[in-house]
Amino acid sequence: MGKKTTIYDIAEKLNITAATVSRALNGNSKISEKTRKLVNDTAKEMNYEQNKLALALKSGKSFNVGVIVPRIDTNFFASVIRGIEDELHPNGYHVIICQTHDQENLEIENINSLLNAQVDGILMSISNSKLETNQHFQKLLKKGVPLIFFDRKKDIAGVSSVTIDDFKGAYEATQHLIDQGCKRIAHYSSNRDILIFKNRYLGYKQAIIDNGLEFDETLVIETISKIIEGRKITKQLLAMKNPPDAIFSVSDFTALGAIEEIKAHGLKIPEDISVVGFSNEPFTRFMELSISSVDQSPIEMGRISAQVFLEEANNSKKIKSEKQVVLSPELIIRDSSLKSKVLVDN
């Protein structure tokens, strides 16, 4: 293995001091543009690589950011991560991705591991758990590590978040089903201790009430985001004396399970039962029967989350900001819910 080039080698070649080389490589404004260019060109020519660890120790920054998601095998979270990376990479940051699999013990482990890795901040969507303690979040705040919630969040003083208007998205989805003539609309919910699922439930409920329909709590079923669970609860609902004529699900995956079970019972969609999901996963568009869904603008959510982090990380006065960014959802209407002959496909 060949000897690594050092700043002293560059200094010797250019007949300048090592301190001048160091300042030039780090973009010090006291060094002229001409000298900075000369040093950087020479460093590149000599295959010089900066010692990232030493740079981190000197600057107090690792230029690593942790991103914690429930899972990465969905288009939504993968797209959020893409948006975060698109914004952070040009600013010299690297992203460390962790999954919780919706388990609070893994959420706590991930946070501790990222703290041990000296990350400059954590952007996360909390696990779908009923854990009431905020100790692991408070630990971050005490250490001065920026914490940004996206999608799923908790209301914690001093913590910024980027979400969509889940109430509005659910209200519009339910209103659309009512406009199609549906009167008995089931809601596939999730853990309503999580704000996004609580707000989707409330949006659904308000649309029912505002349209003078009977709100039936027995049509609200809490489940998890899996196709098999969608099939299971749909089978139960179809066995009712008075089954629903529509389903609004907080997940595209349970919506897909519902569609599979409805078809298995020989019923037609949307003629007998209409279905709307949430998240606008790619498969919703490309199914033989395309699925109506609420789009959450995940790439934009990721980019804005990263921008909020950068604002906090670059705040030299260390004044704690707390931003609550709320994006507007978009209802994408497709075959699974549109009973009229004119189809709007996005």
Task: Tally Cβ neighbours within 10 Å of residue 130.
Answer: 9
Task: For 83, list phi and psi in degrees, rounded to 5.
Answer: -65, -40
- Domain assignment present for residue 86? The answer is yes
* Residues 82 and 111 grouped into a single domain: yes
- Domain assignment present for residue 69? The answer is yes
* Residues 75 and 41 grouped into a single domain: no
pLDDT tens-digit profile of 254-263? 999 999 999 9
Angle between helices 7-14 and 33-45 (to 10 degrees): 120
- Domain assignment present for residue 46? The answer is yes
* Residues 281 and 324 grouped into a single domain: no
- Indicate the pairing of strand 324-327 with strand 274-279: unpaired
* Residues 155 and 301 grouped into a single domain: yes
* Burial (0-12, 13-18, 19+ Cβ within 10 Å), 276: buried
- Domain assignment present for residue 91? The answer is yes
Distances, alpha carbon 51 to alpha carbons 48, 62, 177, 230, in Å: 10, 12, 59, 52
* Residues 75 and 132 grouped into a single domain: yes
* Residues 115 and 134 grouped into a single domain: yes
* Residues 90 and 133 grouped into a single domain: yes
Distances, alpha carbon 319 to alpha carbons 91, 126, 162, 180, in Å: 21, 25, 19, 50
* Residues 70 and 80 grouped into a single domain: yes
Inform me whether the pLDDT recorded for 56 exceeds 80: no
Q: Is the CB of residue 221 less than 8 Å from the CB of residue 187?
A: yes
DSSP per residue, 158-223: T-EEEEE-HHHHHHHHHHHHHHTT--SEEEEE--TTSHHHHHHHHHHHHHHHHTTPPP-GGGEEE-
- Domain assignment present for residue 333? The answer is no
* Residues 175 and 97 grouped into a single domain: no
Give the integer Cα–Cα distance in Å for 140 and 122. Answer: 9
Q: Looking at residue 343, what is its pLDDT? A: 44
- Domain at 283, CATH number: 3.40.50.2300
Give the integer Cα–Cα distance in Å for 119 and 232. Answer: 42
* Residues 70 and 148 grouped into a single domain: yes
Average pLDDT score over residue span 219-233: 95
Containing structural domain, residue 308? 60-163+297-328
* Residues 302 and 284 grouped into a single domain: no
Residue 346: pLDDT band by 50, 70, 90 thresholds?
Answer: very low
* Residues 171 and 291 grouped into a single domain: yes
Chain centroid offset of residue 156 CA: 18
- Domain at 38, CATH number: 1.10.260.40
Amino acid (1-letter code) at residue 225:
S
12: three-class secondary structure by DSSP: helix
42: three-class secondary structure by DSSP: helix
pTM: 0.81
Give the integer Cα–Cα distance in Å for 181 and 163. Answer: 31
Average pLDDT score over residue span 216-245: 95
Provide the token pair at 181. 């003539």
Q: Looking at residue 113, what is its pLDDT? A: 94
Average pLDDT score over residue span 20-45: 86
Instruction: Give the count of domains, the chain.
Output: 3
Average pLDDT score over residue span 55-68: 77
Average pLDDT score over residue span 175-200: 95
Give the integer Cα–Cα distance in Å for 90 and 255. Answer: 38
- Domain assignment present for residue 200? The answer is yes
Residue 132: pLDDT band by 50, 70, 90 thresholds?
Answer: low
- Domain assignment present for residue 20? The answer is yes
Q: Looking at residue 1, what is its pLDDT? A: 46
pLDDT tens-digit profile of 157-174? 889 999 999 999 999 999
